Structure 1
Amino acid sequence: MKKLILSSALLLALSVSFTSCRDAKKAGSSIEDAVENAAEATKDAANDAVDAAGNAAEKAGDAVDNAVDAAGNAVDNAAKKAGDAVDGAVNAAGEAVNSAGEAVDGAAKKAGETVDKAVDATKKAANDAAEAAKAQANKLKGAH
């Protein structure tokens, strides 16, 4: 996430720094275009990051579901072979599944909070970059 924000800021800085004074007639529109392009690229990058985080959370949830299914199958096979001793194992497995479910719920909640924080940070960075670009554009406009 840091690399994404820093890359966006670097691209914005480069686009603003390569505008020369000789291009004063076109500078106003090209700066506006550069600001719009940088803001759009930052927005797209933030959306891609949010999508990637969501996909990662889904894959983690699928993996947990598969693990729970595999544990359930193992418990079923043990119950068929062990008879009376299985009752204790089934109770223990049920508690383990409940604990795993609680752990998954906690992990999902933390993942959601992390994604929310990442989205907020990206939005803030995009807004800050846009504001900096606007300030630079106004500074360049004022210089000419």
Structure 2
Amino acid sequence: MKKIILSSAFVIALGFSLTSCRETEKKTDEPSVIVIEKKADDTPKKTEGTLEKAGRAIDNAAKEVKEAGKAVDKAAKEVVGDDN
């Protein structure tokens, strides 16, 4: 029993001696923050016109779908005939 208590005390003392209570310097992430801010400032310039391009793409897709619908209607009328 005496050996267990002394061994435990030794392990605890060793643990305390290996860990430090001193305050360590915290490294700031200022360089990365500055980079992020610069990238955020550049983002509007790089994305300028993106919404307009997306809108044009949607309009073009809508026109193509409309034309495809007309082609399907025309083909259906040819198959069935106009006597409905």
TM-score band (shorter)? 0.3 to 0.5
Q: Which protein has greater RCO, CA pairs closer than 8 Å, 6+ apart?
A: 1
The alignment's TM-score, normalised by the length of structure 2, stands at 0.47
* Larger relative helix fraction: 1
Larger radius of gyration, structure 1 or 2? 2
Q: Structure 1 length normalisation: TM-score?
A: 0.30
